[in-house]
Amino acid sequence: MQIVTPIPDRHLDAAARLWAHHFLPPVLRAQPRLRACHGMAAIGGDGALQGVAGFRDHDGGVLADLPWIARHLFRPAPPTADLVIDGIAVASPRRGTGRALLEAMAPIARRAGRPGLRAEVEVENGPAMAFHAALGFSQIGQGQFGWPWSGPVAILRRPV
């Protein structure tokens, strides 16, 4: 598997569909556009997309645009100096793709002068909470962030 950033043009549509399936409510999944420069792709030996990850900084996140109503509904977490993980989505879980994508973000954070990586995960998402804990993340806060229908969200951090 190869991790590449930015997301290659030939994989951008598939990456957008995979990312949207994991992170957008069904009503907003129609034709999402991703900003290739704020993402990375995991490409399998067969050339197929295995996963996608986004990151958010002062220039925004991986999602290129959101409908007006969604921009007003989404509740952002407090600002940070860390590089924020803007979602990791994999086609086949538990094969190391998510880990590889997350680990590839650390050098990006270091090059950008960011002191750490931050993830915002719904507390009730046990698999995602365990995944981040296994990769050295610690909870540094909690709140009502994200979509209004989301439950409490944990703010997780790992120094780089």
Q: Has this prediction a pTM greater than 0.75?
A: yes
The 8 Å CB, 24+ separation contacts for 134-142 are 135/99, 135/102, 135/103, 141/77, 141/78
Compute mean pLDDT per 10 residues along the chain, 160 residues long, and list them: 97 94 79 91 97 91 77 83 96 95 96 96 95 98 85 96
With beta carbons less than 8 A apart as the criterion, state whether 8 and 41 touch.
Answer: yes
Residue at token pair 């050339």 = 47
**Partners of residue 146 on adjacent β-strands:** 75
Q: Tell me the domain boundaries of the chain.
A: 2-159
- Enumerate the H helices of 24-149 as residue ranges: 68-73, 97-111, 126-134
Q: How would CATH label the architecture of 2-159?
A: 3-Layer(aba) Sandwich (3.40)
